[in-house]
Structure formats: structure tokens, C-alpha cells
Amino acid sequence: MHIPESNLPRIVVVGGGFAGLQFCKRVNKNKFQIVLLDRHNYHTFQPLLYQVATAGLEPDSIAYPIRKIFEDQRENFFFRIGEAKNIDAEQQILETTSGKIAYDYLVIATGSKTNYFGNKVIEENAMPMKTIPQSLNLRSLFLQNFEQTLLTDSVNEREKLMNFVIVGGGPTGTELVGAIAELKNHVLPNDYPDLDFTKMNIHLVEAGERLLAGMSETSGKRALKYLQNMGVKVWLKTAVDSYDGEVIKTNTSKTIPTRFLIWAAGVQGSPIKGIPEEQIQRGNRIAVDENNKVIYSDNIFALGDVAMMVTDDYPRGHPMVAQPAIQQGRLLAKNIERLVDGKPLKAFKYSDKGSMATIGRNRAVAELQGMKFTGLTAWFIWMFVHLMALVGFRNKAVTFVNWVFAYVNYDKGARLIIRAFDKKRNLHEEKVPVGTGE
């Protein structure tokens, strides 16, 4: 991999997600040469992936070119496309699909990937949603199911095509199932007037006792009520044991025939090979100290979802969401300069900004700074926070216009099958690789 020579220490950053971007933005480029590596040439705003999957937004609304983000910080900054393969810590070399690169400091911000909890059958047949290509696959399969329903005379086949199942009752699952319910109630009957949408069933399957386990019980109950009022069938205390592509079997007597299963039941870290196995902790995350330094190393750091930092407040590690990643990236940018200057490093302390989830039009739950909001107020808060967090003015403007249009017209304009989805051929061709930061 060709990188210009420099007298400055070289920091190689793997992953252009929230953590990697924040670090690269804040680090002093007069003191370091920065090389950012990612498999894609864009940053993905993952919290809105579900809106791409449900035809609410086009992918260019939530993706932004990495080179454009740093167009005003080109001095001593280099971006390269590639996937990290292995770390040679002794030689201080990172092996990638684009060649080898030497480093003085390595920052691992590779994010997370879908966690199937070792169930290979489910992994082979369920649909993940961690990248833009995967979201487009979901959108295509979703719409193809209705097109196929119009072509079949089999009652059993129609049932499978009109049953939509989401596994996982966290924010991703609840937001996704709420968006699908809105499509059923307001949009799809106009597109397919010759289909009987009383036959369309939307299922949310959650192994725990309630929805939104990371939020208060009040928010979980309110989300459940919203979804049930929208016609969603919610199955609590129900775990999926297997799915062969046609029938879901659970730990209860419940079975669901379906050709559409989205797995949103958990994530795990996405570490790079070369990290000692004893440093890979629960959830496939890399053990780090209070400064995000990988335990066995003096010059390797891990940020965000892939980092397992155990503290008194977070004995199981910080939540695998955007805010810890952003805050860790910002602090490490300052700490790595202190490290070079021989100054003591500042310990990371997470400032919880709150949690929120939207469950369709005028329905949301939000918990911010000890205050709880529901309904229309929470919905406006959710929209404002997510709109402001998008990268780039154009993305903010396009997303805002799309949301206003959808609100006024009860419509979603991205109901396009851009590329037909072949489940056997495409299902796992777009896995989340190491080096995406997603």
C-alpha cells in the first residue's frame, strides 16, 4: 500500500464509522500522519438503515463520502479502501486486502456485526441489516414478496409471502417493525389494490420479557402498546430456535411460516486477527483499559463497539451504540497527543445522553437526562436528534424533505426494486467485513 513517507508518527485507523471519524477529525494532524482504512468510500449513518430498508429513504441520504468529510483536512491525512486482515504487533504492520502498511499507532474502530449466537441455520437463512447493501436487499425482498404473491395460486405460499417476521425487540427491531406496519396501513394497499392486506401479518419476536430492554419499563410498555395498536403481533418470552427459509420454530409451540425473517436480535464486536485470544472478551470485543488501549499493547487502541472497557458503572462494557463510540474517539484524539508528549492520559468516562426509539408516525419514546417523553413530543425529539446527527448539509436537507413529504402525503417514495434479490445467491454475499467501522 503506497503512503507518502513522513517524519511524523503514523496512526493507522481501521474503520470509518462513528468512532473512527471522530478520532480522525479531532487528532492533531500537525503532529501525526493519519491513514484511514475502510472497505467503503463512505460513512454510513446506521441508525437510519431501517428507513432505507422500508423505502423511506434512498441510501445516499444516509451515506456520505469519506474523502469529502476530510476535504479541508488533507494535510497529513490519507484515505485508502481496503479490508484489514491481520495485525503483526511485533513488526508493527497491518496486513490488508490492499497491501501491508506500517504503523506507529494503530486504532481499531471496526464496529460490530450481526450476532446469531452460534446458530448457523439461522445465519444461513435470516436477513441481516448492518450495511447499506443489506438494507437494499431487504427492500427488494420485501417488495418482491408482494409481487410474487400476485403470481401464485397456492394458499400456503401466499401465507409465507405475506408473513413478515422481525426478531429482536431493541430499538432496531421496534423501529423496523413500526415502519413496516405503517407501510401496511397507509401505503401498500394503494400499490397493490388486488391484494387482501388483512392477510398480511407482521410479527415481532423477542426472547426477553419486554421490549426496549435498554430503556425503562415504562418506555417498553408504551412501545408495546403502540405496536399492538398498529396491528403488530408481538411475541415476548419467545426465542427463535431455527429457521430453514420457510418456517420459524421457537422455544414454545409457536411456529410461523414465512419467507421474510430479519434478524435484529443482537450484535457482536468485529475484531481484527492478530489480537491475542485471551484479549477477546464477551461479545467478541477487545479488552481495553480506561484509555482505550488494548490491554497487552502499548500502541494499539480499540474504540466503540469493538472495545470492551469494564468499569464500575459498566461492568459488561459500554452500550454498543453511537454515543460511546463518538466520545471515545474524541478523547483518544487528545490522549494520543498526550502520550507522545509524555503527559498522563485522561480516563474515559461515558456521558449517557439518553435513548430513544420511534414506532411510526407521531409515536416514539425518548429518555433524555432523566426525563421521559412519549408520543408526538418524543417523535419530534427523535427526528431533530437524528437529522442533526447526519453528516453533510445535503443529507440533512434531503432527509428532511423526504420526511415532510411522507408526513403530509402518507407516502414513501423509494418503493423501488433497484436490483432483484435472489436469496440463495445474495443473502450473505454482503457480510460485514473487518474494516468497515459499521
3-state secondary structure of 175: helix
Report the amino acid identity of residue 353.
K
Alpha-carbon gap, residue 59 to 416, rounded angstroms: 12
Alpha-carbon gap, residue 421 to 434, rounded angstroms: 24
Closest by Cα among 328, 343, 327, 319 to 289? 328
DSSP 184: I
Identify the H or E element spanning 226.
helix 217-229
Using alpha carbons only, give the angle 309, 312, 316 rounded to the nearest 5 degrees.
50
Alpha-carbon gap, residue 159 to 300, rounded angstroms: 52
Identify the H or E element spanning 333.
helix 322-340
Alpha-carbon gap, residue 390 to 283, rounded angstroms: 28
Catalytic residues: 175
Max intra-chain CA distance, the chain: 74
Alpha-carbon gap, residue 335 to 246, rounded angstroms: 51
Cβ burial 325-335 (10 Å sphere, 16+ → b, else e): bbbbbbbbbeb
Q: Tell me the angle at which helices 322-340 and 18-26 cross, rounded to the nearest 10 degrees.
A: 30
CB atoms within 10 A of CB 52: 25
Q: Tell me the angle at which helices 375-389 and 393-409 cross, rounded to the nearest 10 degrees.
A: 150
From edge to edge, which strands make up the β-sheet containing 240-243? 240-243, 247-250, 255-257
Q: How far is CA 55 from CA 17, 389, 400, in A?
A: 23, 20, 15
The number of C-alpha atoms within 13 Å of 114 and in the hemisphere containing its C-beta is: 25
Put residue 170 in one of left, alpha, beta given phi > 0 → left and psi -120 to 50 → alpha.
Answer: beta
Alpha-carbon gap, residue 78 to 36, rounded angstroms: 6
